Structure 1
Amino acid sequence: MGFFLDTAYRSLKKHGEELCGDQVAMERIGDRLIIVMSDGLGSGVKANILATLTSRIAVTMLKEGAILEETVDTIARTLPVCSVRNLAYSTFTVIEAFEDGRVHTVEFDNPAYILTRKTESGIPEKTMSTIAGKSIWESDFIMDDGDCLSVVSDGVLYASQGMILNQGWGWEDVRDFLKDSARAEKSASGIALQLSVFCNVLYDLKPGDDATVLTLAVRKNEGLTIFTGPPLRAEDDRRLADAFLNASGKVAVSGGTTAAILARETGREIEAEISDMDELVPPTSRLEGADIVTEGALTLARTADLLEEFLSPTDDDIFLKLRKRNGAARLARMIIDSTDITIWLGSAVNLANSDTHIRSLDVMRIMEAAKSLGRNTKLVMI
């Protein structure tokens, strides 16, 4: 069975600019993933256009089976060279990854990629060739469960220059930060967001350059099944319980009525928890076979809020919010850290609480957030 290729990127645009001059393009073809991160010279609209052209040309040509020499030659002929600095208008890094762990990289003038492993850390051997007058570095290696490959634009290396510190923090410092992040965060999204937030802080929230981090984490598939809402027909209560008993990976139950049905059908008891009291989110419970049991409508709404904030953070304390012990934070972390998410959504109208429609909307928000994180998602209506 192949690995799950967990990918994410975060970009900061230069302060005062409308567009970011770094661009990332991705394409999945079967068990193959192609990623291109391009950095346009300078910043603003011009850099954005040229970086976009570079990333899209590379992804499209490689997807269609073009060889590297042909792809690089096309990019070189399409994009001009700055006559003043004699530099290419756009640099790039290409990652071609397969679900069996094989990885091929191509680098042109971007900072060297950073590879962190569970057992070792370092850069695999690279070979240099000249294509269309450009020095291209290539490498081939195998990634295993828990390994993480990151690419950053030079704006990350320069973070804090002239701001909080006198110098940028440099490639080695970024590597050490990513190694620590990879120990603390399981998902590519979490790793990329940590570095992006820290860069923004170093820039005093006013980035002096476009700064992008792209992360590929190779992981074993980790399933999560969420049960919420009673079935439309009472005769389906047993079906719901059977799905609960046979669920693989982690299991979450959201809603008091749902938990009561599962407890009744399985002959198990629900026990209250008092260690996660929170003024905004109702407390959780325990049920044998479930990793977490939460209240329904309020918790799901807060979970959706946290996931949306994680995807497009409005402040820098999202990690603090996600590390709280309340049910919404715990459920959001489970979703972020999983690779395959199945939600069983009951369709019955709750006569004691008119939250059925609201619950469905929040479930849809959670599903959309999970898809944006690159997770495999499945919705079962019952």
Structure 2
Amino acid sequence: MRQIVEVAWESLNKAGEELCGDHVEVTTTPTSLVVVLSDGLGSGVKANILATLTSRIAAVMFREGATADEVLETLAETLPECQERHLAYATFAMLKVDRARDAYLVEYDCPPLILVRAGQVVDLPLAERTVAGRLIREARFRLQKGDYMVLVSDGYVHAGVGGLYRLGWGWENIATAVRRWAQTGGDAYELAQALKRTCLKLYDGKPGDDATAVAMRVREAVRVTLWTGPPADPARDAEAVNRLMAAEGLKVICGGTTAQIAARVLGRRLEVEWLPPSKRQDRAKKRTPPPARLEGVDLVTEGIITLGMAVELLERARTVRDLPHDDESATRLAHILLTADEVHLLVGTALNPNQVADLVRGEPMRMVYVKELVRLLQERNKQVTVERI
């Protein structure tokens, strides 16, 4: 199973400002991840624009293979120093990870990356050098499963100045907090939320500066294989079932006929999910048919209606936390797809005479929904493959 880096971030605006002067840019390719956190000089609209420009330029250039020298030279030409304070208009930290293992870090005038491994804060082998008149720190290191990493802007380091911490929260205290929290084994989103809550509390609810934390966790990728629709050739039924059952990770079937084929080939019983009498009235209000159970398959649902509803949910939800809190078949399906990092769609191409074709595109609705799923999942940086059978 391949390894991935899970990323989440949270920002706090300086009290009284509508826009945050920090900006996070995350770009991905099939083999790499680039994360850039930039802190614009000052706060408000100007800082937001400067941080956004810096992070986007850096992220795109690093993603395309540019060196740190090329990025710094471009930024120096694009965003010159402030003439009054002789400071760069924006600072940044950039982390590029190839195949979720080989990491390259570049830091310019910002708090160092926090790396927690096996319950300890790791000292990174940082080297300093001057590029385009600016001092940067660089490090190359190898990531391991279970590593946690955090990038913070100055607003975190200075949180609580004059209060609980006379000189602010400080990098060392933040690193200790991350180390202790990592023992929970939670995900990147939960870590970012925990840091945000503490930072806001230290500011007594009124941040004195823009504050951003980017949390990352290295973990195994979650893979999902979804089979929908019977094969065009019934002689390939067993092949389709075997491909599903041999796949790593979670297994999903969407379609009544498809589920019946799987049950027949496997010689197992297909059962509609049973509900106690007290909940049957609620089921009548559901928008999608009830799921079924088939040994060895994680979720079995009806086909077209459920796929269509799942597409609607994904249009509105960026993460699983945006989904409705119900047990609808479509919600369960959307939850599994949003949790996944890799999705393989096994699509049967048998024509169903009862299936209405899309009037605009002139193709079966199953394929319309499959294409929409692919688009929505790819927009969320999922690796999606489609196999027709």
Q: TM-score range by the shorter chain?
A: 0.7 to 0.9
* Shift, 1:41, TM fit: 2.0
Distance verdict in 2 for CA 1:346–1:31, change over 3 Å: closer
Larger CA deviation: 345-354 vs 247-256:
345-354
TM-score (norm. length: structure 2): 0.73
Are the aligned partners of 1:185 and 1:191 in contact in 2 as well (CA < 8 Å)?
yes
Are the aligned partners of 1:96 and 1:105 in contact in 2 as well (CA < 8 Å)?
yes
Matches within 5 A, 1:67-146: 67-69=67-69, 71-99=71-99, 101-117=101-117, 119-127=118-126, 129=128, 131=130, 132=132, 134-146=134-146
Cross-structure match for 1:345: 347
Aligned-residue Cα RMSD (Å) equals 4.4
Matches within 5 A, 1:203-352: 212-274=212-274, 279=283, 280=286, 281-311=288-318, 318=322, 321=324, 325-351=327-353
Q: Letter of the aligned partner of 2:334 in structure 1? A: A
SS in 2 for 1:94: strand
Residue deviations 1:85-122 (CA, integer Å, cap 9, x gap): 443210100112222622221222334333344x2241
Residue deviations 1:279-319 (CA, integer Å, cap 9, x gap): 53543222122122123344334433444444279xxx637
Distance verdict in 2 for CA 1:350–1:329, change over 3 Å: same
Are the aligned partners of 1:17 and 1:44 in contact in 2 as well (CA < 8 Å)?
yes
Residue deviations 1:198-222 (CA, integer Å, cap 9, x gap): 6999899999865554444433343
SS in 2 for 1:370: helix
Cross-structure match for 2:383: 376
Q: Which runs of 5+ in 2 are unaligned?
A: 162-166, 359-363
Q: Which runs of 5+ in 1 are unaligned?
A: 162-166
User: Larger radius of gyration, structure 1 or 2?
Assistant: 2
Distance 2:328 2:113 in 1: 37
Are the aligned partners of 1:181 and 1:194 in contact in 2 as well (CA < 8 Å)?
no
* Shift, 1:342, TM fit: 0.6
Larger CA deviation: 335-344 vs 174-183:
174-183
Q: Letter of the aligned partner of 1:337 in structure 2? A: T
TM-score (norm. length: structure 1): 0.74
Q: Size of the alignment, in residue pairs?
A: 369
Distance verdict in 2 for CA 1:347–1:54, change over 3 Å: same
Distance verdict in 2 for CA 1:175–1:286, change over 3 Å: farther
Cross-structure match for 2:164: none
Larger CA deviation: 152-161 vs 280-289:
152-161
Distance 1:85 1:184 in 2: 43
Distance 1:175 1:294 in 2: 46
Are the aligned partners of 1:13 and 1:21 in contact in 2 as well (CA < 8 Å)?
yes
Q: Letter of the aligned partner of 1:113 in structure 2? A: L
Distance 1:331 1:41 in 2: 44
State the identity as a percent.
37
Distance 1:193 1:351 in 2: 50
Q: Letter of the aligned partner of 2:380 in structure 1? A: L
SS in 1 for 2:386: strand
Distance verdict in 2 for CA 1:210–1:230, change over 3 Å: farther
Residue deviations 1:51-83 (CA, integer Å, cap 9, x gap): 344234434555666553554354345423334
Distance 1:229 1:354 in 2: 14
Distance verdict in 2 for CA 1:265–1:30, change over 3 Å: closer
